[in-house]
């Protein structure tokens, strides 16, 4: 670091707002990270959309659109805005997903304008609005809201990394408003939800019972209770206090931004929470102005940003568009703001089909025990007490107790997440899992592609059952990762020859040719 940068860092530390009125470097970094998140989201889509939502998927989009049209009539098009009302073929959806991958990589490479960002947003909106359970996660709406604001952060046509137009400060403030709602919503839902957050015991359980633990999760789980108590206090401070400083003068705002970003970094290290934490960092970067970034970014980028802003100002039409966006977001913020103040606060809820201004939250309830659904198949023609069962292994969720935990974040294995939810409920609430078993009984290639193993490579099994097991982390130093015990049957053995099973699949419209 040069002497000039050291002096600048010193000025920042004592509160001199160097570069606090400039955000060209902020825009550059923010858009690169948003492009990366879009890339991961679309890559997951390319790999998983067909088996999950394709014409022969677990919850086909075409069937969903037919049901919504029957239920809502022509209004369904507005309730579930999507290009797939026009074309929903597997080839078209895959092409659209690949287009998202290509565009997002261009943004990562440094090229972004409003047209590119609105196309990315529109494509992702089309998938989310027909994605059903697979796209029902809070970060899908969060990505859409963040992506929509990013449309107005860029020039309309100029896609250079450092265009000759400064980022509208109004959009920067709206990104800070988004960060404020994300963190405060998460903090309030915890305080209003599970008592373990209020008595500071939530982290006694969280690392073990979170959706997809990673290799660091057991180490964190076995830390002493005082460590977890302090962790809860730190969580409350970051989510309930720090957000209010994102609107303050530069020194406090920058400090708040650093705290919010570092908090998300800790969460990334502690578990596989998909791209949620990476995405949450994006609006937090709006708290860091160019005075911060010029301390860390390469000199050539800093010089390019300085050149781009020489004499650059927003035109009156550009300013009018920015203030119009402020007016729209302010109006749409009434419902989310009211929700934040409500004792019946909703978590991860969208008030419009465009997912523009949403309410957020995470882990309002913390499971105290971890149950896992284990799918097992057998080649035996008749099930007896002596039947030998072989387990199907998923790509990221716990199964074999001796299997090492993976690092998969920010990638999102949607099936693994949904089966984590299913273990808390009954088969009636998750018919897609019954359909998944049906496909495994056919050795369906798409279904098997969602798994980590193929226990019956030559011929499909005769029966598949779903068993519920309780998992606990094995003590430190153990060869195994987990200790587990059987709880009960979640689904009895099912056979493709069973008439009742076939009728259920047929009545759901899932019986293929």
Secondary structure (DSSP) of 67-117: HHHHHHGGGHHHHT--GGGT---HHHHHHHHHHHHHHHHHHHTT---HHHH
Note the pLDDT tens digit of each residue in 378-428: 999 999 999 999 999 999 999 999 999 999 999 999 999 999 999 999 999
pLDDT at 311: 78
Residue at a domain's end among 337, 359, 381: 359
Asked whether 417 and 135 are in contact (CB, 8 A), the reply is no
DSSP H helical ranges for 276-347: 276-284, 290-293, 299-308, 316-332, 334-341
- 2 occurs within a structural domain: no
Note the pLDDT tens digit of each residue in 286-317: 999 999 999 999 999 999 998 988 878 888 99
Q: What is the mean pLDDT of residues 364-371?
A: 94
Pair 145, 194 in one domain:
yes
Residue at a domain's end among 324, 359, 394: 359
Count of Cβ atoms closer than 10 Å to residue 117 Cβ: 25
Asked whether 57 and 50 are in contact (CB, 8 A), the reply is yes
For residue 129, give its domain range. 16-359
Percent of the chain with pLDDT over 90: 91
pLDDT at 453: 94
The answer to whether residue 39 scores a pLDDT higher than 90 is yes
**Phi then psi for 473, rounded to 5 degrees?**
-60, 135
Pair 310, 374 in one domain:
no
- 43 occurs within a structural domain: yes
What gap in Å lies between CA 46 and CA 94, rounded to an integer?
A: 6
The answer to whether residue 352 scores a pLDDT higher than 50 is yes
Phi-psi region at 501: left, alpha or beta (left = phi > 0; alpha = psi -120 to 50): alpha
Pair 355, 374 in one domain:
no
- 389 occurs within a structural domain: yes
Asked whether 357 and 374 are in contact (CB, 8 A), the reply is no
Residue at a domain's end among 359, 383, 414: 359
Pick 402 or 15 by higher pLDDT: 402
What gap in Å lies between CA 457 and CA 417, rounded to an integer?
A: 25
Pair 328, 385 in one domain:
no
pLDDT at 16: 45
- 3 occurs within a structural domain: no
Using DSSP, state whether 332 is helix, strand or coil: helix
Pair 351, 419 in one domain:
no
What pTM, to 2 d.p., does this model score?
Answer: 0.94
- 9 occurs within a structural domain: no
Closest by CA to 57, choosing from 94, 16, 20, 82, is: 94
- 513 occurs within a structural domain: no
Note the pLDDT tens digit of each residue in 257-273: 999 999 999 999 999 99
Note the pLDDT tens digit of each residue in 311-337: 788 889 999 999 999 999 999 999 999
pLDDT at 506: 93
Asked whether 332 and 354 are in contact (CB, 8 A), the reply is no
pLDDT at 13: 44
Supply the DSSP string of 32-74, one letter for each residue: HHHHHHHHHHHHHHHHHHHHHHSTTSSS-HHHHHHHHHHHHGG
Pair 392, 275 in one domain:
no
What gap in Å lies between CA 323 and CA 195, rounded to an integer?
A: 42
Note the pLDDT tens digit of each residue in 432-461: 999 999 999 999 999 999 999 999 999 999
Pick 233 or 17 by higher pLDDT: 233
pLDDT at 2: 55
Q: What is the mean pLDDT of residues 348-367?
A: 92
pLDDT at 14: 43
Q: What is the mean pLDDT of residues 172-189?
A: 97
What gap in Å lies between CA 166 and CA 154, rounded to an integer?
A: 9
What gap in Å lies between CA 373 and CA 471, rounded to an integer?
A: 10
Pair 40, 188 in one domain:
yes
Pair 486, 446 in one domain:
yes
Asked whether 359 and 340 are in contact (CB, 8 A), the reply is yes
Angle 108-114-115 (CA atoms, 0-180°, nearest 5)? 95
- 7 occurs within a structural domain: no
- 391 occurs within a structural domain: yes
Pair 459, 310 in one domain:
no
Pair 334, 431 in one domain:
no
Pairing of strands 358-359, 463-473: unpaired
Pair 209, 73 in one domain:
yes
Asked whether 274 and 139 are in contact (CB, 8 A), the reply is yes
- 221 alpha carbon, distance to own chain's centre: 23
Pair 374, 497 in one domain:
yes
HEC string of 418-466 equals HHHHHCCCCHHHCHHHHHHHHHHCCCCHHHHHCECCCCCCCCCCCEEEE
Percent of the chain with pLDDT over 70: 96
Domain count of the fold of the chain: 2
């Amino acid at each position: 670091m040069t002497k000039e940068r050291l002096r600048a860092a010193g000025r920042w530390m004592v509160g001199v707002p160097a570069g606090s009125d400039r955000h060209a470097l902020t825009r550059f970094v923010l858009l690169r990270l948003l492009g990366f998140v879009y890339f991961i989201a679309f890559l997951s889509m390319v790999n998983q959309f067909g088996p999950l939502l394709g014409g022969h998927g677990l919850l086909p989009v075409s069937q969903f659109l037919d049901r919504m049209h029957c239920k809502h009539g022509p209004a369904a098009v507005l309730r579930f805005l999507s290009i797939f009302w026009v074309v929903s073929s597997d080839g078209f959806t895959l092409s659209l997903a690949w287009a998202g991958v290509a565009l997002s990589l261009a943004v990562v490479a440094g090229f972004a304008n409003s047209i590119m960002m609105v196309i990315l947003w529109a494509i992702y909106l089309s998938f989310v609005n027909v994605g059903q359970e697979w796209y029902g996660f809070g970060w899908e709406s969060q990505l859409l809201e963040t992506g929509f604001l990013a449309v107005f952060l860029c020039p309309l046509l100029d896609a250079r990394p450092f265009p000759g137009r400064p980022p509208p400060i109004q959009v920067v403030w709206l990104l800070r408003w988004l960060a404020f709602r994300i963190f405060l919503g998460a903090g309030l839902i915890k305080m209003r939800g599970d008592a373990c957050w209020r008595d500071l015991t939530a982290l006694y359980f969280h690392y073990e019972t979170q959706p997809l633990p990673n290799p660091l999760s057991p180490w964190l789980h076995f830390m002493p209770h005082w460590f977890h108590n302090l962790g809860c206090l730190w969580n409350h401070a970051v989510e309930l206090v720090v957000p209010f400083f994102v609107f303050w003068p530069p020194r406090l705002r920058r400090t708040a931004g650093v705290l919010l970003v570092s908090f998300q970094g800790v969460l990334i290290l502690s578990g596989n929470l998909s791209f949620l934490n990476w995405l949450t960092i994006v609006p937090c970067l709006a708290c860091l102005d160019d005075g911060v970034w010029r301390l860390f970014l390469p000199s050539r980028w800093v010089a390019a940003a300085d050149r781009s802003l020489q004499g650059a100002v927003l035109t009156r039409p550009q300013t009018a568009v920015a203030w119009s966006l402020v007016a729209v977001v302010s109006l749409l913020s009434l419902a989310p703001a009211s929700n934040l103040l409500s004792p019946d606060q909703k978590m991860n809820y969208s008030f419009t089909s465009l997912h523009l201004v949403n309410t957020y939250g995470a882990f309002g309830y913390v499971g105290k025990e971890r149950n896992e659904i284990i799918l097992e198949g057998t080649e035996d023609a008749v099930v007896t007490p002596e039947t030998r069962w072989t387990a199907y292994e998923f790509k990221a969720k716990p199964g074999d107790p001796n299997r090492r935990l993976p690092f998969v974040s920010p990638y999102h294995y949607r099936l693994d997440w949904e089966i984590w939810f299913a273990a808390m409920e009954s088969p009636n609430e998750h018919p897609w899992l019954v359909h998944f078993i049906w496909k495994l009984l056919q050795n369906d290639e798409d279904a098997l592609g969602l798994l980590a193993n193929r226990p019956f490579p030559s011929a499909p099994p005769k029966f598949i059952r779903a068993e519920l097991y309780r998992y606990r982390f094995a003590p430190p130093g153990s060869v195994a990762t987990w200790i587990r015990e059987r709880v009960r049957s979640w689904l009895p053995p099912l056979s493709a020859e069973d008439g009742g099973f076939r009728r259920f699949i047929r009545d759901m419209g899932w019986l293929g040719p």
